[in-house]
Amino acid sequence: MKAAVIVAPHEVEIREVERPSPGPGEALLQIEAAGVCGSDLHAYEGTQPFFRYPQIGGHEVVGTVVGLVPHEEPLDPIPGRVQPHPPAVGERVVLDPSMPCGGCYPCRTGRYNCCERMRVLGVHAPGAFAEFMVAPLECLQGVSAGLSADAAVMIEPLSIGVESTTRARVTEADSVLIIGAGTIGLCVLQVCRSRGARVAVSDLSPGRLELARELGATAALSPAEGDMREALADVLGASGPSVVIEAVGRAATVLQALDLVAASGRVVMIGLCTEEICIPGALMVRKELDFLGSRLHGGTIPVAATLVEGGQARPERLVTHHMSLEETEEAFRLMIDEPDTTLKVILTP
């Protein structure tokens, strides 16, 4: 089969490789379409610390089960991981790419997305930038045949938005500021809107702010234009947002989140920040803040699938490019060179 292999940083080869065959408890998927995630880009750029070269990337995927081998003995369910029904050959599915160990403290207590020994398809094991891939049966989530491939692929990134929104306990009573209108920030926006919250989005890119408005943001603000606190007071009230979700991953924007959030509010970090952050201690106590991290998706793939199937979220609006598997490296170049106009690239084999 054909596969796009990230052989080393800044090096993608389209290779003819052996089609994988499923072992016990695994399915063989024929890939219909795969999205390119920011973490795939980090693997290409050499800044994804967990990526094992050479590897087939890709974990946002829709495909069809074309073969499967049942488990030899029933698997102990992992708390919090929803398995609606065992998949069948011929079924159209999307993927929860996480492969938690099942034995560590978070795995035993319903927080498997924080697994101490987490492995992820497309990072630690071959992923979806290929014609076929193998995945554990419990990673599969059925989707309807009528759903567009774009919408189906976007269920995985939307589920990241569900996770962070759940961490922030967002309800219709909340006013939310999302810092960063990339794919994940705009997915968070749609989940917050589906819960009835008012949402302001901040980003430097005019194109992304325009899209945020189209997707239901109450306000879309550029930090380059005027005072953010005043602008937020106008649209969300004088106390400031009750929730701030940081989807950039920079120390400066995390500190901005802590500064702008209302007293007694919640701040969720979803952007992977590699910088050290100097936390203002007095402010944390004075505001009695909940300062939370959000990682991957803990049982939120089915929730995201329901939102997409029901039309309550339209993450396919974030798809800006369709390319072929052979153009995987061009897709990475596009994400680097034209970030303002490139949100989600979908690859088809």
Q: Which residues bind Zn ion (CB under 5 A)?
A: 37, 39, 100-101, 104, 107, 115
Closest approach, Cβ 119 to Zn ion, in A, equals 10
Which helix H or strand E contains 3, and what residues bound it? strand 2-8
Q: Let me know the angle formed at the C-alpha of 283 by 278 and 287, rounded to the nearest 5 degrees.
A: 135
Nearer to Zn ion, 99 or 178 (CB): 99
Nearer to Zn ion, 101 or 283 (CB): 101
List % helix, strand, coil for the chain (3-state, nearest 5): 30, 25, 45
Task: Assign 318 to helix, strand or coil.
Answer: helix
Closest approach, Cβ 60 to Zn ion, in A, equals 6
Q: Of 281, 289, 220, nearest to 260 (Cα)?
A: 289
Closest approach, Cβ 108 to Zn ion, in A, equals 8
How would you class 25 by CB atoms within 10 Å of its CB: exposed for 0-12, middle for 13-18, buried for 19 or more? middle
DSSP string for 152-202:
HHTHHHHHHHHHHHHHTT--TT-EEEEE--SHHHHHHHHHHHHTT-EEEEE
Nearer to Zn ion, 266 or 295 (CB): 295
Nearer to Zn ion, 114 or 235 (CB): 114
Nearer to Zn ion, 100 or 298 (CB): 100
Q: How far apart are CA 128 and CA 328, in angstroms?
A: 12
Residue 74: what residue type? P
What torsion, rounded to 10 degrees, do the Cα atoms 285, 287, 288, 290 define?
Answer: -120
Q: How far apart are CA 71 and CA 90, in angstroms?
A: 18
